[in-house]
Amino acid sequence: MVEQIQETYFPKILTFLCNWCGYAGADYAGVSRYQYPPSIRVIRVMCSGRIQPSLILDAFNRGTDGVMVCGCHIGDCHYISGNEYAEERVKKTKKILEMLRIDPNRLRLEWISASEGIKFAEVVNDFTNQLISLGPLKKES
């Protein structure tokens, strides 16, 4: 669990979960009652390869503090190579974020299989803690 939850700021994480691994993993975490902070907002997609940079940038533009993309492990993709596309795209998006002076650590790509409920809980814990230490994504307006 998150030890120090600040009253003023609690991060919002937009999470894209792939239907076959990430979403099932999150489901498994819930069924097994592994505890993780309520910071994530889940969007289920059919494959992590579906996530294009503009979706991630749109999330940051609307004030999300972090974005997480979860897919199947490399080699396990339901659509053979979708997660390889996701990896490449996230890598490029991180470059763009760095140039826009948004910390690239605010974007995270994780491989979580359907049986790794405990890993999912750990990742969400870790990411939430990391975002709390980074602070809110500051906006001028």
Partner 1 sequence: MADIIKSSDLDLNFIKELSKNEETKSILSCFECGMCTASCPVGEQFLLNPHQITRLASFGVSNQILDEKILRYCLTCRTCQEYCPQDVDFIEFIRLARTLLIKRGIKYEETHDGILTLISEIQANLPNGFKLPSEVIPEGYQTLKEGKTAYFLGCLPILDVVFDAYQVNLLEIAQNGIKILNKVLEQPPVVIENAKCCGHDALWKGHFDTFKKLAEHNVNEINRLGIETIVTTCAECYRTLKVDYPKYVENVKFNVIHLSELIAEKIKNDELMFSEQYDVELTYHDPCRLGRHMKVYSPPRVILNSMEENGVIFTEMEKTREYSTCCGVSCFINCNDLSKALQMDRLVEAKNVADLLITTCPKCQIHYSCMMHEKKEQPSDVMKLEISDLTNLIAKMMGLSEFKHEEGENKGVKKQIEEKKYVNLYLYDQ
Q: Which stretches of the chain bind partner 1, using CB under 8 A?
A: 49-50, 52-55, 57-58, 60-61, 84-85, 88-89, 92, 95-96, 98-102, 138-141
CB of 141 to partner 1, least distance (A): 6
| CB of residue 140 to partner 1, shortest distance in Å | 5
Nearer to partner 1, 5 or 80 (CB): 80
Bridge partners of residue 68, in order along the sequence: 15, 108
**3-state secondary structure at position 136:** coil
Rounded to a whole number of angstroms, the minimum distance from the CB of residue 133 to partner 1 is 20
Q: Which amino acid is at 127?
A: F
Q: Coil, strand, or helix at residue 44?
A: strand
Considering beta carbons, is residue 20 or 120 the nearer one to partner 1? 20
Q: Comparing C-alpha atoms, which of 80, 96, 68, 71 is closest to residue 11?
A: 68
Q: How far is the CB of 102 from partner 1 (least distance, A)?
A: 7
For 42, list phi and psi in degrees, rounded to 5: -100, 135
